[in-house]
Amino acid sequence: MVPTDATAEIRFADPDEAASFSTFVQGFLSANGFPFVIIHDAPEVVGHMRRVVFEDAGISRKFAQEWVNLRGALGQA
């Protein structure tokens, strides 16, 4: 799921994960100096998904990796 460009696609496993996404985004932005970001719903995709677009591909990759790490940590809790 680590993107090669400045867009990360985030798919949610369930509504609880979707709810935790907002908190994650706020923390990520704060920790990374509030980079410019656009978050789109992707209604054409079945299920819950967001497209997260950063100004920089490096920030996007970092965002995606941290989200993957958080999901793994939540799944083990």
pTM above 0.75, yes or no: no
State pLDDT tens for residues 10-54. Answer: 888 777 887 788 889 889 989 988 888 888 776 665 567 888 888
What's the token pair of residue 43? 């209604």
pLDDT at 77 over 80: no
- Cα 69 to chain centroid distance, Å, stands at 11
Q: 40 — phi, psi (to 5°)?
A: -110, 140
